[in-house]
Amino acid sequence: MAMAAARRHMLAICALLLLGAAAARSEPLQTFTIHGLWPDYDDGTWPACCRHTNFDMDKILPLKPTLDQYWPSLYCSSSSTCFSGKGPFWAHEKHGTCSSPVVNDELEYFSTALDLYFKYNVTEMLASGGIHISNGEQYALTDVIDAIKCAFGASPQIVCKKGSVEELRLCFDKDLKPRDCLTTTSTNGNLSKTKHCPRYITLPTYDPLVLSNSTREIIAQVESEVYGYLYTS
């Protein structure tokens, strides 16, 4: 990856927790799925859309069955129906355009993300610490962080919404080795590896109605962008 000033890059893989009946999906999801893999700066910002190259679906056709299962669209019944049929929703993944030379093309980008996902299975990490996806069960936030840190060897970043885990992020250096995720400053001035998380959190089934409302907003936003410039090279 290119360097910007004296700031180091890191890679973050974001596992998205969406359980139960996702708006347009008929089957429940009982594990973390992939949200993305992207470069970050140490100040909490990240580059995007660094190269304007057309997405080549043919390059990732061998991965499509695996992507459908572990990097699914949670907003469409199938990847090919997303964005008014303008192409698979993976074509709108723009973070890969900034990941060279760690990853250099579509196949390498998605293969790398999948490899990291399987090697560092968040659902299994949590289960090994006695933490399970459950409706209503509360866990101490520190226990969730410790379970990941014990298995992964570095601290994650956890994003919550209304007391529930929405995203769990694992971070890597440019050699794809685990590293602590960037700390953020909380309202009391202390460093935190969480966003909007209370002391006790849940890993529950998401409300399909809430997801459905989010779906319309996401699709409207993406469809307003110029199609064909949002992918990896």
Strands 157-161 and 178-179: unpaired
124 a catalytic residue: no
Given the residues 9, 35, 92, 106, select the one marked as catalytic. Answer: 35
Is the bond into 208 cis (omega within 30 degrees of 0)?
no
223 a catalytic residue: no
Strands (E), the chain: 9-16, 33-41, 134-140, 157-161, 164-172, 178-179, 184-185, 191-192, 194-195, 200-203
Given the residues 9, 27, 52, 95, select the one marked as catalytic. Answer: 95
Given the residues 9, 27, 92, 93, select the one marked as catalytic. Answer: 93
166 a catalytic residue: no
Contact call for residues 225 and 50 (beta carbons, < 8 A): no
What is the C-alpha to C-alpha distance for residues 36 and 143, in angstroms, rounded to an integer? 25
Closest CA to 169 of 148, 139, 192: 148
Q: Name the 3-class secondary structure at 72.
A: coil
Contact call for residues 167 and 156 (beta carbons, < 8 A): no
97 exposure class (CB count in 10 Å sphere: 0-12, 13-18, 19+):
buried
Catalytic residues: 35, 93, 95
